[in-house]
């Protein structure tokens, strides 16, 4: 979602193996709830079995889009995915690791990070999965992949065509830095420390 300059990122994804790209044309900020509205409209058009999102963006760091999208579409979700597991046999899992579905192609096991460890969730497809940083490392695009990416389709969709109200729900009125901290003070010994805490800070 954005202006024409974001075609570069889409081409990079195509060079890594994606089949096609969609650029929702919009120039301006988008709240997480608006982004989820746009993705919901695209979901209705594309009918995917699985939606994979990053857990949060690197600008506002809000971690909301995946959850909003799952609620709007009434789909199951697995957040903070750090590993994907097969629902098939352990031997098959070792033979061909990676993103795996159940034998009938209707469920997905996702290992997610929680406070104090990890837990495994089983979601029925279609579903929404948000990924953690440690899920995988993107491969480098090969030269043949880069050449093929130039011919792959990138469909441009004006955001107005989706019928989504893009007016921000949250408006930043002001940004300011916190006051600078004062430098610390060195004391000669414990006696002086106690005196300063008692007489100046009045905490003891």
Tell me the pLDDT tens digit for each residue of 157-204. Answer: 999 999 999 988 888 899 899 998 888 888 899 999 998 888 888 888
Q: In angstroms, rounded to a whole number, what is the distance separating the alpha carbons of residues 167 and 37?
A: 12
CA distance 129 to 48: 12
Is 92 a residue whose pLDDT tops 60?
A: no
Handedness of CA 93, 99, 104, 110 (dihedral sign): positive
With a pLDDT cut of 70, the percent of the chain lying above it is: 91
Sign of the Cα torsion 129, 134, 135, 138 reads positive
Q: How far apart are CA 39 and CA 73, in angstroms?
A: 10
The pLDDT of residue 84 is: 61
Q: How far is the C-alpha of 172 from the C-alpha of 127, rounded, in Å?
A: 33
Buried b (16+ CB within 10 A) or exposed e, 131-156: bbeebeeeeebeeebeeebeebeeee
Catalogue the E-assigned strands of 42-164. 50-54, 76-85, 107-114, 117-124, 127-131, 154-158
Residue pair 132/52 in contact (Cβ under 8 Å)? The answer is no
* Res. 94 pLDDT band, cuts 50 70 90: very low
Cα distances (angstroms) measured from residue 82 to each of 113, 162, 180:
6, 32, 38
pLDDT at 9 over 70: yes
Domains in the chain, please, with CATH? Answer: 4-171 (3.40.50.620)
Question: Does the pLDDT value for residue 15 go beyond 70?
Answer: yes
């Amino acid at each position: 979602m954005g202006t024409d300059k974001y075609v570069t990122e889409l081409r990079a994804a195509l060079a890594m193996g994606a089949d096609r790209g969609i650029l929702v044309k919009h120039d301006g900020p988008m709240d997480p709830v608006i982004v989820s509205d746009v993705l919901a409209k695209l979901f209705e058009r594309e009918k995917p079995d699985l939606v994979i999102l990053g857990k949060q963006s690197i600008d506002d760091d809000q971690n909301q889009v995946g959850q909003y999208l799952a609620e709007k579409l009434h789909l199951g979700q697995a957040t903070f995915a750090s590993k994907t597991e097969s629902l098939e046999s352990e031997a098959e899992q070792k033979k061909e690791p990676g993103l795996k579905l159940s034998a009938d192609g209707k469920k997905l096991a996702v290992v997610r990070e929680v406070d104090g460890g990890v837990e495994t969730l089983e979601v029925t497809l279609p579903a929404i999965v948000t990924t953690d940083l440690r899920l995988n490392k993107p491969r480098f695009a090969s030269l043949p992949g880069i050449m093929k990416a130039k011919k792959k389709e990138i469909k441009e969709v004006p955001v107005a065509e989706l019928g989504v109200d893009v007016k921000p729900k949250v408006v930043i009125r002001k940004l300011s830095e916190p006051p600078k901290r004062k430098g610390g003070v060195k004391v000669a010994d414990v006696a002086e420390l106690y005196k300063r805490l008692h007489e100046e800070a009045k905490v003891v």
